Amino acid sequence: MASNGATVHVSEEDRARADQIKDAANKLYAAKSYQEAIDKYAEAIQVNPQVPSYYTNRSICYIKTEAFGYAIADAEKAIEIDPNFVKGYYRRAIANMALCKFKESLRDFRIVVKYAPSDKDAKAKMLECEKIVRRIAFEQAIEHNDTTPSIVESINLDLMTIEDNYDGPRIKDNHIDEAFLKDMLQRFEDQKKIHKKYAFMIILAVREMMLEAPSLIDITIPSDARITVCGDVHGQFYDLMHIFKLNGLPSPTNMYLFNGDFVDRGSFSLEVVLTLFAFKWLYPNYFFLARGNHETDNMNKVYGFEGEVKAKYSEMMFKLFSETFNALPLAHVIQEKILVVHGGLFSKDDVTLDDIRQIDRIKLRQPGSDGLMCELLWSDPQPEPGRGPSKRGVGVQFGPDVTKAFLERNNLDMLIRSHEVKENGYVIEHDGKCVTVFSAPNYCDTVGNMGALINITPDLHMDYKTFEAVPHPNVRPMQYASQFGGMLGI
């Protein structure tokens, strides 16, 4: 049935042709050519819009490309055509889980198990989902109110003794130096840990800095320096080291801004974030960090960072990371002219830089599903004018006219953002006013994309560098992810 209740008549010839197109789309999906498969499934749907499997097949492609909002819409169309089509509920459950909408996901998994009681995989996922929902309800009941003490009150560095057999770098006089940092990087490359006391010291130092920082930070590049803007790194530590080898280690003249999504998916997220935090401690005025949508509790539960920190250190350390992520700035303005945010722009027209400055991110803690903080972390550009519903199901999509108006209103020249994989590592769009930079090459070891970074001089000359992935130890992406996170690997 069509959505308006009218029957769509499809000839036998069109049914056969649509099936042939669907078979071609299936081959593209098997080859991991997801965007091409999406386009081909759309062709099949155009010829015969009555087959629910065409929509669920396209839905899984959208899941693979992180367009979870579109995946949910396709799953719902399949359910509309056939309310007994189990795969529609299954796809919607997976997409909602990817968005950390655990209750909605659980509701659909229960329907799947009801229709397919012998499906052990679906039952296991339902039970896992139930466990997450119960855990979140428990956590919300006991914490995160204004009287809840910080985890910092439970941390006593004096009680953390350094064992005689510890052969790693040591922090002296309670302050980090370049020698410690270089030794730490080498130790991480050798797949060894630093002592938990030093890891806690690094996180605590950065937490204190971030609590004192505004939500929007103004960056001035000294006349003898440059700043490098990097996008998502996603736990790809060895690629992060490659960035530093290509572009130089951070210093007062070789400044860096890492634009969110340091963690999750990649299985060396702890090494990445400790490296970035250590450089922030060493060079507080020359090294900058912005919050991404993956520096959030729900994403860390699903996509691996929480599991990784617990496996390598402790739950207490993850809670300290969570508090520190809550304090990360949301935006930076370079030389008063370039706004840098992780996701993008807003669902309303009148937003100013002062509105961003006034976001009380410390009180809000998590970005939620709407509002300025959410949109800063989740929104994406679109080629069409105006705004559209988010392909991800969170935030908005904004067109070139929205970008132009925002920049003019705030006396800015350009928007730099990250948040999306790009085949060549970066894309310039919206008449040159919106740049996406992504710094995790061969994302999740499967996508084959380049990574990129942007060097910016005091006169705002921009130089784009691209790079390929480098080898890393044989630890798969999503190694520490929940059952659902493992399903959501690209």
Residue at which a domain ends, from 113, 142, 171? 142
Whether 129 and 210 share a structural domain: no
Closest CA relative to residue 424, chosen from 432, 436, 434:
436
Is 80 exceeded by the pLDDT of residue 22?
yes
**Is residue 7 one of the residues assigned to a domain?**
no
Whether 163 and 266 share a structural domain: yes
What distance in Å separates the CA atoms of residue 348 and residue 351, rounded to the nearest whole number? Answer: 7
Whether 35 and 62 share a structural domain: yes
Tokens found for residue 52: 């629910």
Whether 95 and 241 share a structural domain: no
Residue range 365-375: mean pLDDT, rounded: 94
Q: Quick: pLDDT tens for 318-365.
A: 999 999 999 999 999 999 999 999 999 999 999 999 999 999 999 999
Whether 265 and 198 share a structural domain: yes
**Is residue 6 one of the residues assigned to a domain?**
no
Q: How many CB atoms lie within 10 A of CB 79?
A: 22
Q: Quick: pLDDT tens for 248-298.
A: 999 999 999 999 999 999 999 999 999 999 999 999 999 999 999 999 999
**Is residue 225 one of the residues assigned to a domain?**
yes
The mean pLDDT of the chain is 94
Q: At residue 109, what is the residue type? A: F
Residues in the chain: 490
Selecting among 234, 242, 294, 342, the annotated active-site residue is 294
**Is residue 338 one of the residues assigned to a domain?**
yes
Range of the domain at 89: 12-142
Is 60 exceeded by the pLDDT of residue 80?
yes
Whether 138 and 155 share a structural domain: no
Whether 128 and 174 share a structural domain: no
Tokens found for residue 237: 């530590």
Residue at which a domain ends, from 142, 175, 210? 142
Tokens found for residue 382: 């679109």
**Is residue 432 one of the residues assigned to a domain?**
yes
**Is residue 462 one of the residues assigned to a domain?**
yes
Per-residue confidence (pLDDT) for residue 146, from 0 to 100: 58
Per-residue confidence (pLDDT) for residue 131, from 0 to 100: 86
Q: Are strands 380-381 and 387-389 parallel, antiparallel or unpaired?
A: unpaired
C-alpha torsion sign, points 62, 64, 67, 72: positive
Q: How many CB atoms lie within 10 A of CB 119?
A: 15
Closest CA relative to residue 355, chosen from 378, 375, 338:
375
Whether 224 and 303 share a structural domain: yes
| pTM metric for this prediction | 0.92
Q: What is the helix (H) or strand (E) element at residue 106, kind and residue range?
A: helix 102-115
Q: At residue 275, what is the residue type? A: T
**Structural domains counted in the chain:** 2
In the chain, count H helices and then E strands.
Answer: 19, 14
Whether 388 and 329 share a structural domain: yes
What distance in Å separates the CA atoms of residue 209 and residue 281, rounded to the nearest whole number? Answer: 8
Whether 472 and 350 share a structural domain: yes
Whether 203 and 131 share a structural domain: no
Buried b (16+ CB within 10 A) or exposed e, 336-374: eebbbbbbbbbbeeebebeebeebebeeebbbeeeebbb
C-alpha torsion sign, points 60, 298, 377, 387: positive
Residue range 422-446: mean pLDDT, rounded: 97
294 is catalytic: yes
Is 90 exceeded by the pLDDT of residue 21?
yes
Per-residue confidence (pLDDT) for residue 486, from 0 to 100: 60
Q: At residue 57, what is the residue type? A: N
Helices 269-282 and 196-212: angle between axes, nearest 10 degrees: 60
Q: Are strands 331-334 and 434-437 parallel, antiparallel or unpaired?
A: unpaired
Provide the 3-class DSSP secondary structure of residue 15. helix
Q: Quick: pLDDT tens for 176-225.
A: 999 999 999 999 999 999 999 999 999 999 999 999 999 999 999 999 99
**Is residue 30 one of the residues assigned to a domain?**
yes
Is 60 exceeded by the pLDDT of residue 490?
no
Specify which residues 307 forms β-bridges with: none
Q: Which of 444-448, 454-458, 478-482 has the highest mean pLDDT?
A: 454-458
Whether 74 and 180 share a structural domain: no
CATH number where 186 lies: 3.60.21.10
Residue with tokens 């679109």: 382
H-type alpha helices, 371-448? 372-378, 400-409
Tokens found for residue 174: 């309670």
Is 90 exceeded by the pLDDT of residue 484?
no
Per-residue confidence (pLDDT) for residue 137, from 0 to 100: 82
CATH number where 137 lies: 1.25.40.10
Residue at which a domain ends, from 87, 117, 142? 142
**Is residue 33 one of the residues assigned to a domain?**
yes
Q: Quick: pLDDT tens for 447-472.
A: 999 999 999 999 999 999 999 999 99
What distance in Å separates the CA atoms of residue 317 and residue 360, rounded to the nearest whole number? Answer: 24
Q: Quick: pLDDT tens for 131-149.
A: 888 888 877 776 655 567 8
Closest CA relative to residue 488, chosen from 105, 51, 104, 74:
105
What distance in Å separates the CA atoms of residue 196 and residue 179, rounded to the nearest whole number? Answer: 18
